[in-house]
Structure 1
Amino acid sequence: MISKYRDFFNNSFSEEKYSDFLKSLNAGFPPIPFRVAETPVFIPADLKQKLVDAGSEIIKLIKRPDFKQLTDGSVPAEWNVPNENDHPHFLTFDFGVCKDPNGHLVPKLIEMQGFPSLYGFQLHLAQEYKKCFNLPDNLSPLFDGVNGPYYIELLKKVILGNCEPYEVALMDVDAPDQKTSIDFFITQKYLGIKILSLTDIFKEGKSLFYQDGDRKVRLKRIYNRLIFDEVTDRTDVFKSCFDPREELDIEWVTHPNWFYRISKYTMPFLKSEFVPESLFLKDLKVIPSDLENYVLKPLFSFAGLGVIIDVKKEDIDQVKDPENWILQRKVNYEPAVKALSDGVKAEIRLMYLWPDEGEPILCINLARLSRGKMIGVRYNKDFDWVGGTVGLMEQ
């Protein structure tokens, strides 16, 4: 979007460079199973400021004293985990890049989560784009006031807390086999923590342990990457290890309840120029006459599963649990990223770190490029210049 960098990048791009970039990006790690786009996004200063402003407005809501009261209905009773803390350690807000009536690029909120994202991988990704495509040093994926060393130290502070690295584990169901495992390995490289699958952990009393060779090691803190939606039909996985819903002597980073509190459930409470009109389906009094301008989203799903893009009246009539759905006005993405032949739509994720006894800090970003109806793998098969990427900004 910053034309001088876009023109330079496109004019010097080649498939050979892209192939070399992917090899360098993946060197020393298991193969990356998701598509990494051919290009970064060059975020201009005015759009960057609007993203910062939009994120600040959302954080005002999250920091309200009554926020937990507002979102009590978001945590399913069957997945409510004890000992919830005061705030999430991670915040991620996804914005579609759109165009306002005056032709200016503006962010529109699509999704939000109080859950980790690719905090390790995104820094690595930006460094590889810059190195392999000879991009200037003044371009960075980090926001004002944050540089690389400070970012790594802040990541350590948030994830390790007061613990030693061996007392902290990044945990997921089958951690090494997850699609995002590249982020797990890079995070391990930065922080020195263990990567454990759920079944690598066992319980004695209220304490959790893992086996490191002949040594039994007590876990004090879990960097949680387990999304309960992924194990809704596999609750047997807890039988041989531990059940997160029990009273345990463990610190969560971040506590699992925040995945639900800060989610699509939060969007109807937000009133902002950067947030499309959203309401709980249970509160819908009259079905809009222009349903083609709305999407219907289940509250408890991820990666776009269950979203109805082309909504019809019968779709609403067939919903048996309207309290678990929202109706949201469609966001019209602008194909603002110039590929070699045409424009590509972009989504930018703001990624915050929120240390214990501290304030949320906007650190880094993630971007995704799309040519399909939605941002996501299943909507962008067989396209080029799509997939995961990062936004670079002038410093």
Structure 2
Amino acid sequence: MIPSIRTAYNQQFTPEKYEAFLAGIASDAGIAPAFRVAETPVFIPASLTSKLVQACEEIIDVLLRPGFKTLTQNAIPQRLNVPNENEHPHFIVIDFAVTREEDGSLAPQLIELQGFPTMFAFQEVMARRFKEHFEIPANFSNYFNNLDDTSYYDLLRTVILGDLPPEEVILLEVKPAEQKTRIDFQRTEKMLGISTVCLTELIQEGKKLYYLKDGKKTPVRRIFNRVIFDDLEKQAEQLGDFVNLFQELDVEWITHPNWFYRISKFMMPFIHSDYVPKSWFLHQLPVLPTDLENYVLKPLFSFAGKGVLLDVTQEEINKINDPENWILQRKVQYAPAIITPTGPAICEIRMIYIWPDGAIRPMLVHNLARISKSRMIGVAFNTQDTWVGGSCCFFER
């Protein structure tokens, strides 16, 4: 995106540096990534950074509107509604495609947003290892709001642990050892001192939850939630017996599961910004556009690109028997803005917010990037290419 820096990075790259970089990540986390890590970070010019921040803040403004919960009351499937929802999410992630405007300048376009955590610990490791193994210009940073590696973890510790001892806080997931994000779980354990627990390992006594830590029954007072509940629903039969999380329990959620649905594609029709593609709930469209080839159909309740229809036709729409659970969105044209030795690549940028209790607004803290050479973005869609996969951004200051 910045030609001189891109050229310099590509010239300094060697396979040996890349292998040392991957080995450093595995050493820090204790295991190797279960997904492809790209050979390069993404260098973001100041002009694009300002647009990204503006777009994010416009989206946050919608979230802060009076009556936001009323506006999004239909976002949560009734069967997946968890009691004791708090006043705001602790985490917000906002995904943008990098596109080009008519004048040729780079610009973001919203793809997805979620009230859900992301790979906080892994992204710190990746960015730090990029800086150790490659020459990253000093006026570029992976952080926002003057954070560094130390203050970033201090913030995570405050939000996730609060004033509780680490043994009473757990990272909750379904079959965590089988998840592609398990490297993040392991690094989180190391940095925060909490345990990763499978849902099937929880013990319920009345409204209280426990787990076994070193063979000792230990109370769970706070859950750092990584369970995606619609995915849980699909796996329920294979899991056997497990605690019903859709009941009154004496536990705090970080962040509460309902925010996964409130801050999601469900919000997109309500956001009006130059950086958000026009979107409509499918069941509320009186007339379909005649140029359906310029649109994409997205299921409201999906994750990691599952179920997205890139080639929309009247026939495909006619097959949908629950149009209230779909949005029709103006298609975004990714710009092949990253020049690599094996050809141009496109990318998405995830802007990561943390919202501590008591804060007026969430705070932009970090980022994640995905680099691709296929039609779909995501580590599952780039199994044959090089210079693609999970990455991070360094923003020009």
Distance 1:253 1:139, change over 3 A: same
SS at match of 2:127: helix
* 1:283-322 aligned within 5 A: 283-322=284-323
Contact 2:144 2:365 in 1 (8 A): yes
Counterparts of 1:237 and 1:227 in 2: how far apart (Å)? 16
Give 1:23 deviation, angstroms.
1.4
Which residue number in structure 2 is paired with residue 366 of structure 1? 368
SS at match of 1:363: strand
What is the TM-score of this pair, normalised by structure 2?
A: 0.97
Counterparts of 2:121 and 2:381 in 1: how far apart (Å)? 26
What is the TM-score of this pair, normalised by structure 1?
A: 0.97
Give 1:25 deviation, angstroms.
1.3
- 1:156-177 residue CA offsets vs partner (Å, 9 max, x unmatched): 1111122111110001011122
CA RMSD of aligned residues (A): 1.4
SS at match of 2:74: helix
Which residue number in structure 2 is paired with residue 391 of structure 1? 393
Contact 1:222 1:252 in 2 (8 A): yes
The sequence identity of aligned pairs, in percent, is 49
- 1:139-172 residue CA offsets vs partner (Å, 9 max, x unmatched): 3210133222221111111111221111100010
Contact 2:342 2:387 in 1 (8 A): no
Give 1:30 deviation, angstroms.
2.1
Give 1:239 deviation, angstroms.
5.9
Counterparts of 2:161 and 2:313 in 1: how far apart (Å)? 48
Give 1:341 deviation, angstroms.
4.3
* 1:320-331 aligned within 5 A: 320-331=321-332
Gaps of 5+ in 1: none
SS at match of 2:170: strand
- 1:105-149 residue CA offsets vs partner (Å, 9 max, x unmatched): 000000000000011111110000111113244432101332222
Which residue number in structure 1 is paired with residue 338 of structure 2? 337
Which residue number in structure 1 is paired with residue 347 of structure 2? 346
Which residue number in structure 2 is paired with residue 167 of structure 1? 168
* Residue type at the aligned position of 1:206: K
Counterparts of 1:307 and 1:384 in 2: how far apart (Å)? 24
* Residue type at the aligned position of 2:182: S
Q: Is 1:210 aligned with 2:207? A: no
SS at match of 1:320: coil
Give 1:4 deviation, angstroms.
3.0
Which residue number in structure 2 is paired with residue 22 of structure 1? 22
- 1:293-316 residue CA offsets vs partner (Å, 9 max, x unmatched): 000011111111111101001111
Give 1:208 deviation, angstroms.
0.5
Give 1:236 deviation, angstroms.
4.4
Which residue number in structure 2 is paired with residue 240 of structure 1? 241
Contact 2:82 2:258 in 1 (8 A): yes
Which residue number in structure 2 is paired with residue 197 of structure 1? 198
Contact 2:171 2:197 in 1 (8 A): yes
SS at match of 1:8: helix
Contact 1:202 1:242 in 2 (8 A): yes
* Residue type at the aligned position of 1:18: Y
Contact 1:202 1:240 in 2 (8 A): no
Report how many residues are paired: 395
Counterparts of 1:328 and 1:265 in 2: how far apart (Å)? 11
Contact 2:172 2:223 in 1 (8 A): yes
Which residue number in structure 1 is paired with residue 107 of structure 2? 106
SS at match of 1:21: helix
Give 1:238 deviation, angstroms.
7.2
Counterparts of 2:153 and 2:317 in 1: how far apart (Å)? 46
Contact 2:200 2:242 in 1 (8 A): yes
